[in-house]
Structure 1
Amino acid sequence: MPTDVVSGPPAGLVRARVHDPYPYFAWLRRNAPAFEERRPGRPSVWQISRYDDVRSLLADPRLSKDPARVPGYVPGPAGLNRHLVHADPPDHTRLRTLVNAAFIPRRIAGLAPVVTDTATRLLDELEAAAHIDVIADFAAPLTFRLICTILGVPDHLDTAATRDTLMASLTHDTRGHEGDLHPLLDALITDKRAHGPTEGSDLLGALVHARDHGSAMTEEELRSTAYLLLLVGHDTTMNLIGNGTLALLRHPDQLDRLAADPALTTTAVEELLRYDSPVRDATFRCAAEPIRLHGRTIAVGDIVSLLIGSANRDEARFPDADRLDLARRPNEHLALGYGPHFCIGAALARLEAALALPLLIERLGPVRLAKPLDELPWRPARVMRGLAALPVVRC
């Protein structure tokens, strides 16, 4: 018998998804692990909520990453979707190979002094502040400066205005920001062309050189890849730091535990990734073949939403899944994906969080939320889960 013959999740859980999706996810796991959201005149969207199903489907070749398979569907700003996240092999293999070298763990580890220095300078600026927004004052500038360093973004474009333009493209209203995004990305690419490649060239310079001299990518792929790397290289880790800080403030016993034992940092970062994942839903996938799951058939062309945030709270995989435990082992969460599309920036996200969070905890000292929990603003992004602001007050 189909598992989701019920009418659907209660309206209250649906409305609360942006601020707190976990009761909604729990309802799906219990009642409709393969829930079909029907939309008149448009493809169905299947919400997959259990860990084993999400993990399996993340690596399932029957799911395509190519949005062109769904007529009329545009997953992001128009003209900026020809990148590795929205590509199947062999295009995915070709595009990932071009950017992979910049994100290998050995190269990322070499950025540790830059992370520490940048975080320290930002915290120095907050030394006398009584009111602090952890996102705007720390997480956002830290993570954006790091990805700008990796890409080689010139100083005059490493600004809050550039960040704001990129972040606006993450909301449900993705169309309409192209007027700001395209000139920004064209300016970056033009700058790289004007200065040419250098020894030990930054990633963006290397990509421009590959485009102009090897025809390894099209101009649209180049622009789309620049957009992807700027956005995801910044947003995922910003959300990890913001969501992680909030989780620690909500669990003072775990905050004290981490402050007293820095050796917990590695497992703490993994648990914070699991507990309130910076990526709520996996990026676009649609069925290239019929898929049978829990007595239902996902039809060709249907969109499949793999709920990473739900999988990471699945009680069948994580004992006491709603409890934050910074020493949790094992912890095979899916916050950074799984399979061929595993997050290319995973090592960078882990490094930044492992270095920045202990510094933030130490330098801020005792703080409390400046707003009630239910008044904290969450960005209504299509895939990501992150706070728009995290205001705190020193105690």
Structure 2
Amino acid sequence: MPSDVPADPPATLVAARSRDPYPYFAWLRRHAPAHVDRRPGRTAVWQISRYTDVRALLTDPRLSKDPDRVPGYVPGPAGLNRHLVHADGPDHTRLRALVNSAFVPRRIAMLEPFIAEVAERLLDQVEHRAHVDLIADFAAPLTFRMICAVLGVPDHLDTAATRSTLMSTITPAPAGHTAHAERRLCDLLDVLIAAKRTGKHAPSRVDLLGALVRAGDESGAMSEEELRSTAYLLLLVGHDTTMNLIGNGMLALLEHPGQAARLTSPEPGPGIVADAVEELLCYDSPVRDATFRCAAAAIELHGRTIREGEIVSLLIGSANRDEERFPEPDRLDLARRPTEHLAFGYGPHFCIGAALARLEGRIAFPLLLERLGPVQLAKPVEELTWRPTRVMRGLTALPLVRR
């Protein structure tokens, strides 16, 4: 092997990265900041691990979001991929403009009483239980309820079964099971869109989906495929990202009780809580890898050449632990001043639901610590399982037991 080509990461780090990717990321940053995985018959995938490179490439026009540039690449559920995450230039600008208004901080702030009410009600249901799964009992239903409120999903579709169908489309499973989940989700979205057209199930809150339906019908601003795909995208990222934030964040707080105490002191104050949420976002980001990108032109990086058409994976989780950017990044410090972490991305594709995720985190963490009381993990942290998805980092369950 030529001396200028980095060796592959140690097999032990590769094997452990689904549970704990941070030693693997540290190896990449130190030894191979632009690491390529080339396998016969497959498109090369580059892993970019340093903060400076990841942030720069998040806005680099030489990277495209269009999966059609990679022959044979399948970006996700069939028929649900024509949305703003898989769009460049004018198409991305058009689609993002249609959904932006519902996610401006001022409108999201209006949901605060509703978020607090739902969170309290969920905790009422587990108040006397000795065992609690923080994901299934709290994080999943809370976050799904909130994105359903923003989209204007009627209550009879805001169910655990709908959540399960949604998550089944992104979790590796036998082909037949995944295809069935995708068909069921498409059917659900078509029913919901049809209800918006007839005026049934008029919601009392934001109703973003109703606005998108009207925009498509009245001005042709969205095709039917774009409409269904956008509804899918918003349901997914509005639910999955914040669910992971709450799960990953609570695990970090349980492992660092001294830090958690900052949020349980009398009236910690909105500034302290907001800073804590930013630290938790940076410490164990709910988004591990940035969403799909491929090279639209050759890119030189660290003496290597990313060729046109090759996939580029921007490792957000690694960038947020880069010791060149963040002092002592492996230490949780809720008193740390807010940093320019990349948990929600950067540039034109910055996560559209960031304001909603932050608000839910600011409400959820103090409330959980107060209402749950003294709890501990019901199993060793090494036995916790993480969902096997490429982009997101989230627990399948967070079992707790009262002390």
- Same fold, judged at TM 0.5 (above): yes
Report the Cα distance in structure 2 between the residues aligned to 1:3 and 1:340, rounded to whole angstroms.
38
Aligned partners of 1:4 and 1:35 also within 8 Å? no
Structure 1 residue 320 corresponds to structure 2 residue 328: yes
Normalising to structure 2: TM-score of the pair? 0.95
Q: How many residues align?
A: 395
Give 1:17's aligned residue. Answer: 17
Report the Cα distance in structure 1 between the residues aligned to 2:395 and 2:291, rounded to whole angstroms.
19
Secondary structure (helix, strand or coil) at the match of 1:233 reads helix
Structure 1 residue 190 corresponds to structure 2 residue 198: no
Q: Which moved more, 1:57-66 or 1:258-267?
A: 258-267
Q: How does 1:279-294 map to 2 (within 5 A)?
A: 279-294=287-302
Q: How does 1:1-395 map to 2 (within 5 A)?
A: 5-173=5-173, 176=179, 177-195=181-199, 202-260=207-265, 262-263=268-269, 264-395=272-403
Structure 2 counterpart of 1:187, which letter? V
Aligned partners of 1:3 and 1:295 also within 8 Å? no
User: What does the per-residue CA deviation read over 1:335-373, in whole Å, with 9 as the maximum and x for residues that have no partner?
Assistant: 010000000011000000001111111000110000111
Structure 2 counterpart of 1:115, which letter? I
Secondary structure (helix, strand or coil) at the match of 1:257 reads helix
Aligned partners of 1:287 and 1:298 also within 8 Å? yes
Against the structure 1 CA distance between its residues 330 and 354, is the aligned structure 2 distance closer, same or farther, given a 3 Å change threshold?
A: closer
Q: CA deviation at 1:44?
A: 0.6
Report the Cα distance in structure 1 between the residues aligned to 2:2 and 2:85, rounded to whole angstroms.
32
Aligned partners of 1:3 and 1:294 also within 8 Å? no
Report the Cα distance in structure 1 between the residues aligned to 2:150 and 2:183, rounded to whole angstroms.
25
Q: CA deviation at 1:7?
A: 2.9
Structure 1 counterpart of 2:5, which letter? V
User: What does the per-residue CA deviation read over 1:361-394, in whole Å, with 9 as the maximum and x for residues that have no partner?
Assistant: 1000110000111111110012000001000001
Report the Cα distance in structure 1 between the residues aligned to 2:25 and 2:394, rounded to whole angstroms.
17
Q: Which moved more, 1:176-185 or 1:269-278?
A: 176-185
Aligned partners of 2:152 and 2:205 also within 8 Å? no
Aligned partners of 2:287 and 2:317 also within 8 Å? yes
Q: Which moved more, 1:70-79 or 1:274-283?
A: 70-79
Secondary structure (helix, strand or coil) at the match of 1:300 reads coil
Structure 2 counterpart of 1:226, which letter? A
Secondary structure (helix, strand or coil) at the match of 2:44 reads strand
Secondary structure (helix, strand or coil) at the match of 1:42 reads coil
Structure 2 counterpart of 1:151, which letter? L
Report the Cα distance in structure 2 between the residues aligned to 1:260 and 1:55, rounded to whole angstroms.
36
Question: Alignment RMSD, CA only?
Answer: 1.7
Structure 1 residue ranges without an equivalent (≥5): none
Report the Cα distance in structure 2 between the residues aligned to 1:247 and 1:201, rounded to whole angstroms.
33
Q: CA deviation at 1:200?
A: 7.4
Against the structure 1 CA distance between its residues 200 and 358, is the aligned structure 2 distance closer, same or farther, given a 3 Å change threshold?
A: closer
Structure 1 counterpart of 2:184, which letter? D
Aligned partners of 1:48 and 1:306 also within 8 Å? yes
Report the Cα distance in structure 2 between the residues aligned to 1:165 and 1:393, rounded to whole angstroms.
28
Report the Cα distance in structure 2 between the residues aligned to 1:254 and 1:305, rounded to whole angstroms.
32
Structure 1 counterpart of 2:345, which letter? G
Secondary structure (helix, strand or coil) at the match of 1:39 reads coil
Report the Cα distance in structure 2 between the residues aligned to 1:8 and 1:289, rounded to whole angstroms.
25
Report the Cα distance in structure 1 between the residues aligned to 2:166 and 2:3, rounded to whole angstroms.
39
Report the Cα distance in structure 1 between the residues aligned to 2:289 and 2:187, rounded to whole angstroms.
29
Structure 1 counterpart of 2:80, which letter? L
Structure 2 counterpart of 1:219, which letter? E
Aligned partners of 1:290 and 1:300 also within 8 Å? yes
Structure 2 residue ranges without an equivalent (≥5): none
Aligned partners of 1:170 and 1:382 also within 8 Å? no
Q: Which moved more, 1:193-202 or 1:65-74?
A: 193-202
Secondary structure (helix, strand or coil) at the match of 1:123 reads helix
Report the Cα distance in structure 1 between the residues aligned to 2:198 and 2:341, rounded to whole angstroms.
43
Report the Cα distance in structure 2 between the residues aligned to 1:222 and 1:53, rounded to whole angstroms.
34
Q: Which moved more, 1:169-178 or 1:214-223?
A: 169-178
Secondary structure (helix, strand or coil) at the match of 1:47 reads strand
Structure 2 counterpart of 1:321, which letter? P
Against the structure 1 CA distance between its residues 394 and 201, is the aligned structure 2 distance closer, same or farther, given a 3 Å change threshold?
A: closer
**Equivalent pairs: percent with the same residue?**
73
Against the structure 1 CA distance between its residues 313 and 362, is the aligned structure 2 distance closer, same or farther, given a 3 Å change threshold?
A: same
Report the Cα distance in structure 1 between the residues aligned to 2:127 and 2:13, rounded to whole angstroms.
40
Secondary structure (helix, strand or coil) at the match of 1:322 reads coil
Secondary structure (helix, strand or coil) at the match of 1:165 reads helix
Q: CA deviation at 1:331?
A: 1.1
User: What does the per-residue CA deviation read over 1:175-195, in whole Å, with 9 as the maximum and x for residues that have no partner?
Assistant: 523222211111111121121
Q: CA deviation at 1:258?
A: 2.1
Report the Cα distance in structure 2 between the residues aligned to 1:287 and 1:126, rounded to whole angstroms.
48
Report the Cα distance in structure 1 between the residues aligned to 2:261 and 2:206, rounded to whole angstroms.
42
Report the Cα distance in structure 1 between the residues aligned to 2:172 and 2:160, rounded to whole angstroms.
21
User: What does the per-residue CA deviation read over 1:193-233, in whole Å, with 9 as the maximum and x for residues that have no partner?
Assistant: 12178897610111111111111011110000000000100
